[in-house]
Amino acid sequence: MSNSTTPLAVQSLNKCFVLPNRKIEALSDVSFELKPGRVTGLIGADGAGKTTLMRLIAGLLQYEEGEIRVLGLDVATQSLAVQSMIGYMPQQFGLYQDLTVRENLSLYADLQGVPEHTRAERFEFLLSMMGMNAFYDRLAGNLSGGMKQKLGLACTLVKAPQLLLLDEPTVGVDPVSRRELWQIVYQLVEKEGMSVLLSTAYLDEAERCDDIKLLHEGKLLAEGPPKKFSEAMLQRTFLVSHPQLSKRDLKKQLDTLSMVKDALIFGDALRVLTQDSIDSTDVLSKALEKSSGMTGYQIEPVAPRFEDAFVDRLAVQEGEVAGGDSNQSAFSSTQLSSSQETAEQTTQGPAIQVKELVCKFGDFVAVDHLSFSVERGEIFGLLGANGAGKTTTFRMLCGLLPATSGHLEVVGLNLRHARAQARAKLGYMSQKFSLYGVMTVEQNLAFYSQVYGLKGKQRQERINWAVETFDLQEILSQNSHDLPLGFKQRLAMACALMHEPDILFLDEPTSGVDPLGRRDFWDKINALADQGVTIMVTTHFMEEAEYCDRMAIMASGSILSLGTPGEIKEQEGVSDMEEAFVRIVQSGKSRKAPDKEDTSDDEEEAS
């Protein structure tokens, strides 16, 4: 059992939330212990129960059943004592935007009763670790997203805690700042000997932890060091490509093979997870050749990732991936369009054409003479660090922001002159659920169909199509605000596709969604692209970048690199998209303005 040296012990923990029409089991029968002096990752998708667990541990929520002991103390009865020994950084850390960095630190030092004479030294130690000691007198509101997160961490650490709880510290932070945050966490463990519990929805961060607790739908699915997870996946993961086949056609072939558990578009190839370990790639290529009657498949083994293990476990748990598969085929057979009009484009030329696009906010140039074009039926990704201008560009493309100057054409229509017509041809889905929460699913569908000008029989057909394709029948009369996350996303997609758009704009559509949900979503997106719909994605999430046909990496308002995910990785000579991204952005910065790195702009964050 736990003693006072165990930083955290959780025993048979249960927690429910009751909503008017449904009960959510946020956590059920969760038990685990934390090893001292380690970084433990609490990994799970949005809605898995990570934040609830964090808040329970910090004594901010009460639990019904079970026991939580922090450093030997019972959280339920000694929450004040516990709170004085731990540091807790919530997702939205309460920085005071109008106070300087130093004032924020002093405020938290006051709140935590840190003695006056130790402060200067402590602040200096923390800020130099964060690489921020030049910014004592800057207002917190003027820091970049990554730096705000670091300052939040520093404020949590003004009094050295024995257990540090970090709730999704890397969410919405670009890959460059994300790396720095991880380095800081490890330095802390080393220098202060504290234990850290860090939650994240980014599965690729699992490999950075010493130990992993995998949470899924309120249950502890698995635990152990990352190695343990990946070892079970040895000889089961491969990259498959074929010079003549498009990656989407190749995926269709792979999905029919019973030995393939998971086939995921990954850059210019497909990442395959087999049911069982196979000794040689020949086994897979023979199976492929046999089923398709083609030859020339290129197959190479790759190192397993944490995500493979997660998918493996989930698939077993949810009774085979088959569920996702049948869903996907249902989607493609129903077709996006009931009239078949979308596939035969009336006008020719690229779906999106941008020439010399400029956007200024006062003196600040957010987008600087940008030019590129996107072909019809292409999945195009727009990536960049915080403040690089990608959100601004994205918003201009879907008509949410007027351009300062330049030419902007969407499906052959000029966004300056024919805005309403152009908007009728595009669909938009943001990362945040943005439908009317107090209205029911049915009312939301009715509203969007009317607003997009659908009438009479056609309107009814499209609503039926949406209900059928996205399986919404049972929840039609529920308020959309109370829906589980997965349903919300399906509803949002249904509303965005109601009017059969030619272009679909997606803003970080699947960050935080569990891997099966993400696959399901992207299967639908791929089916749409096959039908000729152009997809425009903006994201921080490197996994999503791999699903794109082509992508652009932006910094300081211009494009630094443009090409297929494979080309971009090749240019930088790395196999990892995040590594390629970091290199491109850093070399771009050193080229452009060597010491301007931190004068961050945050025009995007404000919007």
Binding residues for other proteins, rule: CB under 8 A, are 361, 398-402, 418, 420-421, 423-424, 426-428, 430, 432-439, 443, 446-448, 450-453, 455, 479, 495, 505, 603, 606-607
Identify whether the C-beta of residue 138 lies closer than 8 Å to the C-beta of residue 95.
Answer: no
**Strand stretches in 426-567, DSSP E:** 426-429, 503-507, 534-539, 550-555, 558-563
Which conformational region is residue 37 in: left (phi greater than 0), alpha (psi within -120 to 50 degrees), or beta?
Answer: left
| 3-state per-residue secondary structure call for 28-91 | EEEEEECCCCCEEEEECCCCCCHHHHHHHHCCCCCCCEEEEEECCEECCCCHHHHHHHEEEECC
Helices (H), 498-576: 515-530, 542-546, 565-572
CB 401 to other proteins: min, Å: 7
With CA atoms as reference, report the closest residue to 525 among 321, 378, 351. 378
CB of 54 to other proteins, least distance (A): 25
Burial 420-451 (b: 16+ CB within 10 A, else e): eebbebbbbbbbeeebeeeebbbbbbbebbee
Distance between CA atoms of 477 and 439, rounded to whole angstroms? 9
Phi and psi torsions of 25, nearest 5°: -90, 95
Beta carbons within 8 Å of 139's beta carbon, 6+ residues apart: 97, 98, 99, 100
What are the CA-CA distances from residue 142 to residues 365, 377, 531, 601, 602 (Å)?
17, 40, 45, 7, 8
DSSP state of 224: E
Give 249's contacts (C-beta < 8 A, 6+ positions apart). none
Distance CA 428, CA 432 (A): 12
Which of residues 12 and 97 has its CB atom nearest to other proteins in the complex? 97
Tell which residue, 52, 38, 130, has the closest CA to residue 91: 52
The span from the CA of 474 to the CA of 591, in Å, is: 56
Identify which of residues 125 and 436 has a Cβ nearer to other proteins in the complex: 436
Count CB atoms within 10 A of the CB of residue 99: 15
Q: Least CB distance from residue 449 to other proteins, whole Å?
A: 8
> Residue 430 CB, nearest distance to other proteins (Å)?
6
Residues 6+ apart with CB under 8 A from 25: 14, 15, 16, 218
DSSP 479: B
Judged by DSSP in three states, 471 sits in: coil
Q: How many residues does the chain have?
A: 607
* Rounded least distance, CB 444 to other proteins, Å: 9
Taking the complex as a whole, the smallest distance from the CB of residue 429 to other proteins amounts, in Å, to: 8
Q: CB–CB of 126/154 below 8 Å?
A: yes
In eight-state DSSP terms, residue 361 is: E
Least separation in angstroms between CB 446 and other proteins: 8
SS3 content of the chain, % helix, strand, coil (to 5): 40, 25, 35
Residue with smaller CB distance to other proteins, 17 or 364: 364
The least distance separating other proteins from the CB of residue 607, rounded to whole angstroms, comes to: 6
Q: Is 340 in contact with 398 (CB distance < 8 Å)?
A: no
